Structure 1
Amino acid sequence: MTVVAGYVPTPLGQAVLAEALAEAELRKARLVVVNVSRPGSYVDPDTADVADLEQRVGDGHEVRQVQDTDPAAAVLDVAQQESASLVVIGVPRRSPVGKLIMGSTAQRILLDSPCPVLAVKES
């Protein structure tokens, strides 16, 4: 059993990580944390410190730093590869117009995931 979490180094990402760790423990599952950064970007605010993340998730879990221009596709690919039993993602607060204009990574994952999705809001 595997839980996959989409992570960005923000307060929302911290909430996702906490829920994903709790779900992995509850399910006695392995956790795969996916952090997506843009290819060729020298400074990307979405890039996490992998060593810090690995220390936080602990042994038996995995952190993957993926370079992709499409974060939803990257998370969905890992969920598919791992035959995930659950995907944990963050749901940012945005207006309906903001979602329409900019699209929604969370919405794509919710609609296209091969398994259940736990959507976490920032507390």
Structure 2
Amino acid sequence: MSQQPVPQTKTAQTGLNSVLVALGPKDAERVTRLGEEAVDIAGPAGATVVITHVFTREEFDSRVDTLGFDRDAADVSPDAVAVRYSPVRELADLLDEAGVDYEIRGAIGHYGEKVVEVAEELDTDLVLVGGRKRSPTGKAVFGSVAQEVMLSAPCPVTFVRADTK
């Protein structure tokens, strides 16, 4: 008896190809946890990790000055500044040690919107966002960038909480 091929979804055909790790200005203390999750997920799948850091305009201008970039130079892009940003370098080092391929993206704007925009642009398969435990009142008063990403991303989102111990 012959078997008919089972129709396959995009995920079944191509597997996990890219994992976007979103790093925000307050994620420095979560880099290790985000890196562990990225290695655990992307490593076995052979997926590329896209480390994405979103700068506010003020943060970008400050980093350009702090890192000694020539403001008039053509290479002062969000990508170039992100490559030299210490939490991004720390995450890249963790991925290097684990043998996981990665690329680095920078963006300027509203954190949640830009993370979703990069995920859409790259047709990302999964987004990892960091956060901390907050009360429902705290979320209502201060908002939640991670929640915004989870509700708007074009793919599944995994929330990585730093305070898991």
Pairs within 5 Å for 1:1-123:
1-8=17-24, 9-41=27-59, 42=62, 48-49=85-86, 50-58=88-96, 60-68=101-109, 70-122=110-162, 123=164
Retained in 2: the 8 A contact 1:7–1:17?
Answer: no
Count matched residues: 119
Retained in 2: the 8 A contact 1:86–1:118?
Answer: yes
Retained in 2: the 8 A contact 1:12–1:92?
Answer: no
Retained in 1: the 8 A contact 2:127–2:156?
Answer: yes
Distance of 1:60 and 1:54 partners within structure 2: 9
Q: TM-score, with normalisation over the residues of structure 2?
A: 0.64
Relative to its length, the structure with more helix (as a share) is 2
Distance of 1:2 and 1:84 partners within structure 2: 5
Q: TM-score, with normalisation over the residues of structure 1?
A: 0.83
- Structure 1 residues not aligned, in runs of 5+: none
Task: Provide, for residues 79-118 of structure 1, a one-character-per-residue CA deviation record: whole Å limited to 9, x for no partner.
Answer: 1111111111113111111111111101111111111111
Task: Provide, for residues 64-91 of structure 1, a one-character-per-residue CA deviation record: whole Å limited to 9, x for no partner.
Answer: 23222x1111111111111111111113
- Structure 2 residues not aligned, in runs of 5+: 1-16, 64-81
Identity value in percent: 27
Q: Letter of the aligned partner of 1:2 in structure 2?
A: S
